Amino acid sequence: MKRKRRGVTQTQMRRLVVALAGVLLLVVVGTAPASKDTLIVGMPTDIPIFDTHKATGLHNGGILNQVSEPLVRLTSDGKVVPWLVESWEPSKDGRTWTLHTRKNVKFTDGTPFNAEAVRVNLERFRKHSIGKATLAMVKTMEVAGEHVLKITTEAPFAPFINSLGYHWIVVYSPTQIQKVGDDNLHTAPVGTGPFKLVYHKRGQEVRLEANEQYWGGKPKLRAIVSRPYPDQSARMLALESGDVDLIFHVPPQEAARLARIPTLHVSTPPSARVIWLYLNTQKDPFKDKRVRQALYYAIDREAIVKNIFAGTAKALHSPGPVGSNGYTDQYDRYGYNPDKARALLREAGASNLAFSAHHSPGRYLLSDQVLEAVQGYFKQVGVIMKVVDVEFGTLSQMGALPVEKNVLQATLFGWRSVNGDIDSSLQDFGSAFWRPKGNNLSFWKNDEFDRLLTVEQGTLDAKKRVETLHRMQEILMDELPALWLYGEPQIWAAKRTLKGVEWNSLESIQSLHAAYFED
């Protein structure tokens, strides 16, 4: 009598693979790994360059910032915590900020940390970083004492101190920069952080080891290892099999399953990340705002949030993160309306519209599925969108070109509020921040918006400032230089024995000097 064969589900197969991996590991080494003093992190991408001023990918900042630290830190609710800068005060006119740096701190090469080191690094950030526009308002910097730095802005800038919490604004040893050269700092970076770089094997592994002289106290971990796992299934399998201790970019559909595993813990901190489809308004077919509006009517944002992100994301109704200071959803009139989209396209003479959208697979959570859904929505209204996949570093270089050389029509990019204020999301749509000076990849210009940007950044009147931010969002929601899609959820998963890890709303791990494994 023949036995009836039974099919094997994907879940059963996954569990079988995990079990076999564990058995094989036991056979090879004789015992289960016990990395109680080494934290192994599975990241979605490799760090492009071990130089925080030149790197991209906010989640990478969690590794980079273990070596080079920010001046202040932001809590998940946007409050400022003193760090390398201990205190500050503004002048009466709000244009000059006096910063007092922490004393008795040294870089790991023995160089003293002081106000001059901060000045050198702020200038370096303003020269190299993709986020250089964050400090575009700075006019002068003056060292007024060994631990006193005075920064003057073009006009009063209310969220200035919060902006210093942007974790690309860090401090390296000026001595080391001079020793190895500005272009070679990534080969041997020296910071004040709780860990030191041992090596960076591109595409394979980053290894950090404890800075036993760290000003915040000797780290409890001996080492941190970061490995790239671009494939999300491989990343989760690495955690479940014990190859890594912590992973980022967990798919929402898998988060609930991982949370049911007794040995694992899932964390979903607030997110400052927003996902947009930039539209180049200086090129056809997006010069006509009716075309841009038609595309927004064509997309069912709520369905994307529900079906792709299992409700863990939030549909955007404004360019900034939901809950950021100054955010309002009152100007979003674009509910899902394919008929309205078709009518606007006919009115604009763009009924047979076709264009290309560039995208970096793996850079943003489930972005492939999002673009596939958007393609489908556009097809329903007679629009063909061709998706062009490009490695993130290459796409960043393409996007950095000035308008006359920039070939991008539409681009899926993520942006964020670096300071808990919607200003940092709105600012880059100012015409002064067209690439390569800033991040205005839409190459959009609106005189009224530019004027209001100056007003909101310059006023110290909180009520007037919020009113101005609301008016700016009203303009953006009418003009639509980009299609604001959703706030990307942050989902981390880790071994339950890992303690002392602080999550950042900016998609990164905070200082790991207090992290440890519980016995």
Distance CA 227, CA 248 (A): 11
Q: In what order do the strands lie in the sheet with 410-416?
A: 314-315, 482-487, 273-279, 410-416, 354-359, 384-389
Class of domain 68-177: alpha beta
The label of the residue with tokens 């080391």 reads 176
The answer to whether domain 10-50+193-269+491-517 and domain 68-177 are alike in fold is: yes
Q: Write down the CATH superfamily of domain 273-487.
A: Dipeptide-binding Protein; Domain 3 (3.10.105.10)
- Residue range 10-50+193-269+491-517 in CATH 3.40.190.10: yes
What does the chain come to in residues? 519
Distance CA 285, CA 486 (A): 24
How do the pLDDT tens digits run along the chain, 519 residues long? 444 444 444 444 554 444 444 443 433 334 444 448 999 999 988 999 999 999 987 778 899 999 999 999 987 666 789 999 999 999 998 899 999 999 999 999 999 999 999 999 999 999 999 888 889 889 999 999 999 999 999 888 888 998 898 889 999 999 999 999 999 999 999 999 999 999 999 999 999 999 999 999 999 999 999 999 988 899 999 999 999 999 988 888 899 899 999 999 998 877 788 999 999 999 989 999 999 999 999 999 999 999 999 888 889 999 988 878 889 999 999 999 999 999 999 999 998 899 999 999 878 888 999 999 999 999 999 999 999 999 988 898 898 899 999 999 999 998 877 777 888 889 889 998 888 877 888 999 999 999 999 898 878 788 999 999 999 999 999 999 999 999 988 889 999 999 999 876 667 788 899 999 998
**At residue 191, what is the residue type?**
G
Distance CA 75, CA 52 (A): 20
The strand ranges marked E within 280-427 are 314-315, 354-359, 384-389, 410-416
Distance CA 223, CA 458 (A): 45
Report the candidate in 482, 448, 106, 492 with the shortest Cα–Cα distance to residue 265: 492
Q: Is residue 62 within 8 Å of 56, Cβ to Cβ? A: no
Structure tokens at 377: 């929505």
**Dihedral of alpha carbons 421, 422, 425, 426, sign:** negative
pTM of this prediction?
0.72
Q: Is residue 361 within 8 Å of 44, Cβ to Cβ? A: no
Indicate the domain borders of the chain. Answer: 10-50+193-269+491-517, 68-177, 273-487
Distance CA 134, CA 70 (A): 14
- Partnered with residue 386 across adjacent β-strands are 356
Report the candidate in 466, 474, 426, 419 with the shortest Cα–Cα distance to residue 450: 426
